Structure 1
């Protein structure tokens, strides 16, 4: 999946439609070039074997959105958009029987292997797209994604359905994305980022293009309702929607996230949904 990748410079920024293939290619381009800087800048916050749901620092060890410790022991878990495998490595430490991480970026997976060697806790990884998971139906007990693939998909229904497909009956899907309300505001951590500018209902993607008009970064905006409807359409039951408050002890700024903004508007949305034990016929 590293074919035709370049580190093209950004010539323009647009709000426009972007399909599945263009979005996946742009994500590969961007993350191949950004992985080193990302891990150097944020690796300390993420930890080598920790599970945080977003820049606020919401810790899975505390909130247990994936399940209690006895539920994770012996489970088969898939992490979508695993980056350097920090969350997957934490899950291994919780006694999960098998943890697999996928990421669209080969360079991110190389960082996963580097941390594997440093910690002595390897995680199984594969290069793959969240929109096309290379696994059999009902292969996992838990599917999770911390800002992994879901912010970058054009079709929420298709992406959620794909994760639901590989989830066994009784299993759980939990994923985090940028809170949809943030799309109304400039991506600015200062007071300038507190003035609404764009329509919440403008679902055009944010696209960075090279000089030839090819997308080299794509991020998609979907409303809360879009996500909830997609979860229901996939046959899942929404159990929780968490909007983390910015904690007093977190003084870091992470791109558009900051204590100033985070204590006024939500920056992250975390969706937790279950697949019923027996799929009910739809009427």
Structure 2
């Protein structure tokens, strides 16, 4: 547990420094790089009069989307105070009533149980340092029959990188070895726990969720993303950048 707290401290410091860089990025209706959007997938269905909670709400743009879709109650939590401040400012501009918590997702900061129609997380769940504990909380937050939807970077994505002369991709990290790693995309300044896709699936099942969809389709943008970028079109031609899961309590 002490190691988890140290990783959370490091990650919070990293997000406080980088929050502005991620303002408005990777938010609904988009699920993530090279992934089909909610406009294509229709995973959420009708949101009118629904109570929704976002895990890792970032700058609040996905909560703004929920408001625009008619959600009745908006709730969110995020590790970084700058993200919570940005989300509050954005949603205040929209005159949206929202309840926000600055908290790690591994703890319940006062969120009601058996309350939400929908809990979701857009490119945030993978930051957890304790997946089972986080999923245990999410399961408890949902009403019976409630829906949990999340997206995250596909765990095979950062196993592949360009070699030094940018002439070819190489697998430079093992997919099967799990554990916390200093993340190359963040210049080794934060920890992200590498987990296999099966680990996410099995943890959901262990917590009692019923799986409805697992999606790792690739959708290419009209303009190719340069090979120097973390999410490049060349890499997406070989393997998915994003996976999406829909499950039900």
Q: C-alpha deviations, 1:117-161, integer Å up to 9, x for none?
A: 54444643221111112213212111100012x212233222212
Check if 1:233 corresponds to 2:206.
yes
State which of 264, 268, 275 in structure 1 corresponds to 2:242.
268
Q: CA RMSD in A?
A: 2.6
Take 2:35 and 2:88, find their aligned partners in 1: how far apart are those partners? 24
- For the structure 1 residues 22 and 120, does the alpha-carbon distance in structure 2 shift closer, same or farther, using more than 3 Å as the test? same
1:28 corresponds, among 7, 12, 33, to: 12
Residue 116, structure 1, aligned to residue 91, structure 2 = yes
SS in 2 for 1:180: coil
Mapped partners of 1:222, 1:184: distance in 2? 11
| Residues 35, 242 of structure 2: 8 Å contact kept | no
Kindly tell me the number of residue pairs found equivalent between the two proteins: 242
1 CA distance for matches of 2:162 and 2:38?
26
Alignment of 1:91-106 (within 5 A): 91-106=66-81
Residue in structure 1 matching 2:190, options 214, 217, 233: 217
| Corresponding residue number in structure 2 for 1:246 | 219
Equivalence for 1:138 = 114
The residue that corresponds to 1:63 in the other structure is 41
SS of corresponding position for 1:195: strand
Q: Distance in 1 between matches of 2:138 and 2:22?
A: 26
| Match of residue 231 from structure 2 | 257
Distance 2:197 2:35 in 1: 21
TM, length-normalised to structure 2 = 0.87
Shift of residue 108, structure 1, vs aligned partner: 1.1
Map Cα deviations across residues 44-90 of structure 1 (whole Å, 9 max, x no partner). x657xx43111225322331222x12xx2111100000101111111
Deviation at 1:112?
1.6
1:207 aligns with 2:182: yes
Aligned 8 A contact 2:35 2:241 in 1? no
**Which stretch of the first structure deviates more once superposed, 19-28 or 253-262?**
253-262
Gaps of 5+ in 2: none
Superposition misfits of 4+ residues, deviation over 6 angstroms: none
Go from structure 1 to structure 2 and tell me whether the alpha carbon gap of 1:191 and 1:267 turns closer, same or farther (over 3 Å shift).
farther
1: CA distance, partners of 2:130 / 2:64: 29
Deviation at 1:192, TM superposition (A): 6.1
Alignment check: 8 A CA contact 1:18 1:154 kept: no
